[in-house]
Amino acid sequence: MDQYIGKMLDNRYEILEVIGTGGMAVVYKARCHRLNRLVAIKILRDDLAKDAEFRRRFHDESQAVAMLSHPNIMAVYDVSRSSDVEYIVMELIDGITLKQYMQKKGAPLNWREALHFITQIMKALSHAHSRGIIHRDIKPQNIMVLRDGSVKVADFGIARLASAAQNTLTQEALGSVHYISPEQARGSRIDARSDIYSAGVVLYEMLTGRLPFEGDTPVSVAIQHINSIPLPPRELNPDIPEALESITMKAMAPNVENRYASADAMLSDLEEFRKNPSINFEYTPSDLFPTPGVTDEPTQIIDTHRRKAYAPASQESPRKAARGEQRKAEDDDDPEEYRSSARKHKDQGGGMSVPLAVASILVFVVGIGVLLWVIFFSNIFASTTTYTVPKVTGMTLEEAREDPDVVGRFTIVEGEKVTSDTVPVGQIVSQEPAAHRQVGEDGLTITVNISAGTETITMPPVVGKEYREALVELQKYGLRPTETQYEASETITENYVIRTTPAEGTVVVPGDDILVVISSGPAVKPVTMLPVVGQMVDDAKKTLEEDLHLSVKVVTMDSDKPEGLVLYQSIASGTEVDEGTTVTLQVSNGSGTSSGETPSPSESTNPGSSSQPEDPSVNGNLKSKDVEVSLPSDGEPGDIVQVRISGKDIDQSKSAERRVGNVHFTVWGTGTQEIKVYIDGDFIGTVTVNFDT
C-alpha cells in the first residue's frame, strides 16, 4: 500500500488514493477538510525531495504558477511542505488526457475538433507567456479534456524543473522528446516560441493521427527535430484544409525566426481560419523550412518512415516539389552507377524488342475491349434511378426539413454557420448538392450552411466564473442565458459555472439561447440517524455534527434528570436523512422538576398522528379527545410542540415536531381539563378541553 494513503498533510489534506504517476511526482486524490472539497495533490518523489536546491526551486516555481488564473489552465490552490514532503494542491479535474482522448478515438480528430482544442491550448499559453512563464513540456499527456469539451493545460512550473533535472535524453524522456523544439533538442536557449513549436506538434498529431518524427531512441527522435522536415499533414489526411496545414507547419518551423512570434499571433491566424476556412495565408515552404543545398547542413530524408522533403519549387505544388527533391536525392546518390545501369539496360534491350512489341499490341487490344465494354454494356446492369435535388436555400432549417420535396426522400444535415450580408440570420445560405442537380441513391443527403448574419462571435469563456458574473458576460456579447440548471460537483465551487451549451470556442450569433449549468456544490449524501437519547449534549452534538454532518438545534426543558442529558431527538434512530438536515435535541436543564414522561423519538416522526398514554385503560372512565393546538405564525418547521395535562385522573405529556400550520393531539381525561402548551420548552398558553362533550 502507498505510504501516503490515509495520511493527513498539515492537518488539512487527507490522502485518499493514487490517481497518477510521473517521472518527478505522484498525484493523489485528497479531501480538503477545511473547505470540504476534493483536490489533487502532487507530491515530489523522495529522491528529488532530498535535494535542498531542487526543493527550493520547486517551491519558487510552484508559487509563480499559482499566480496564473485562466479557464484553460489547471488551477493551483496551495504550495506547501509537511515535514519532508513537498507538495502542490491543485483542482481535481473530471476528465482524461488529450493523449487518452486521441487513443480512444483511434483515428485522426476531425479538423474542427482539433481547431477547438488547439485554440484553447494557445489561449492558455498566451496567458502564461504574458506573465513570463514558459511551460517547456507541452504534450497531450499534460493537457486535460473535460466532459464539456473544454481543455486545461497542466504541469506549468514542473516542466521547467523537469528540463533542468533531465540532463540527457533517456528512455524516461521518450514521452516528451516527440514534442520538444529543435532548440530544446540542441540544448540552446529557449523562449515562448518553444511552447508554440510543441503546440504545433500536438496539432499535427490531432490532425494526422501520428507524430511527425518517430525513432527507436530519444536521441534519434531529437536529431530528426533538428535536421529533418516533417511530411505535410495533407499528405497523410487530405481532408485537412490547406490553411490549417499552413498554420501547423508555421508553428513547427525549425528556425524560431520563421515560427509564430507569439501565442497571440497564432491565435489570430486560428481565428481568421475559423471565420473563413478557405483563407490563404501564403506561407510558402521556403518561408518556413531551409532549402536543400542552401543551408549549412543538408536536410536528411528518413527512409524508414517514408519521409518526403518539404522543399519549394517555382512552378510546382509543395507536394510535387517534395517528391521531385526526393527522386533527385536518390538519383544523385551515385550518378556514375546510375549511368552505367542505364547503358546496361540499353544494351540488353535489342534482343527483346520483338516480344515486347507483340506484348504491347496484345495489351492495347485487351484495353480497347475493356473500354468498349465499360462504355456500351456496363450501364445495362447499373441502376438508372436518379432524383432532382430540391432548392432549400432561403429557407430556415425547420422549413427545409418539412418541405414536401424533401420529406421521405432527402435528409437535411446542418453544416456551418457563416456570415452573410444578404441572407437573414437563420436562413440557408448554400447547399450541397446544389439545387436541380440529378443524384443517385448515394446523393440523398443535403448539407446546408446557415446564415449567421453580418456578425458572428466565439462563445466566451465563462466556465469557472461565479454564475452572476457569467450571465453578465454573456449578455455583454448579446447572448441570451435563457436556461440555467444546477448540478452537483465535487470540483467546482457552489454557484460557479460548470459548463455551457454551446461550449466555449463555438461559433455563435448574438441573440442565441445559452444553457448555463451551475454547480450546487458537492452532492448531498444520505446518512442514517444514530441514537443519542441518554447521552450528554456535547457528546451527542459531536456525533451528529462531525460524524453525520447534521445541523443540531438544542432546546432545554424542565427535568429532574442530570443537566445536559439528551431526553429527546426529533429524528428517530435508523431514519435516513440528507447531510445538513437539522435535528432538534431536547435537553434537561437539571431544575429538579419533572415535566412528565420523556418523549420518544418515534412520536415525532409523524406530527399529525394521534398519541395515547402508555396505558389508557388504567381508568375505565377516561375518554379520548382530539385537540387542535393553534400555534404562533412566526414559528419554524423544526419547532418542538409539547402539550401537558396534569389532573387527578391522569398525568400525560405528548410532543411532536411541527411541520406546517397547527398540530393535532389525541389526549385522554374526564370532565374539563386545562392543557398547557409549550414550544421548544417555552410555555405559550393553555387550551381548555371538555371530555364530556
Residue stretches of the annotated binding site? 42
Cβ burial, residue 176 (10 Å; 0-12/13-18/19+): buried
Cβ-contact 204, 118 below 8 angstroms: no
C-alpha 424: how far from chain center: 35
Distance (Å, rounded) from C-alpha 420 to C-alpha 418?
Answer: 6
Indicate the helix (H) or strand (E) that contains 167. Answer: none
Cβ burial, residue 104 (10 Å; 0-12/13-18/19+): exposed
Distance (Å, rounded) from C-alpha 280 to C-alpha 329?
Answer: 30
Closest by CA position to 621, among listed 690, 693, 675, 691:
691
Sheet holding 651-657, edge to edge: 651-657, 640-646, 672-679, 682-690
Cβ-contact 190, 184 below 8 angstroms: yes
Cβ burial, residue 403 (10 Å; 0-12/13-18/19+): middle
- Catalytic annotation present for 137: yes
Annotated binding site for ATP: 42
For residue 441, CA distances in Å to 385, 387, 410, 434 come to 8, 8, 10, 16
Distance (Å, rounded) from C-alpha 126 to C-alpha 124?
Answer: 5
For residue 578, CA distances in Å to 131, 208, 526, 529, 581 come to 45, 50, 4, 10, 6
Indicate the helix (H) or strand (E) that contains 609. Answer: none
Distance (Å, rounded) from C-alpha 446 to C-alpha 410?
Answer: 7
Name the 3-class secondary structure at 17. Answer: strand
Distance (Å, rounded) from C-alpha 566 to C-alpha 190?
Answer: 70
Amino acid letter for position 272: E
Distance (Å, rounded) from C-alpha 272 to C-alpha 328?
Answer: 37
Dihedral angle sign, alpha carbons of residues 566, 572, 574, 577: negative
Tell me: cis bond preceding 140? Omega within 30 of 0 counts.
Answer: no
Annotated active-site residue in 46, 51, 137, 547: 137
What angle (nearest 5°) sits at the alpha carbon of residue 463, between those of residues 120 and 139? 30
Dihedral angle sign, alpha carbons of residues 62, 67, 73, 78: positive
Catalytic (active-site) positions: 137
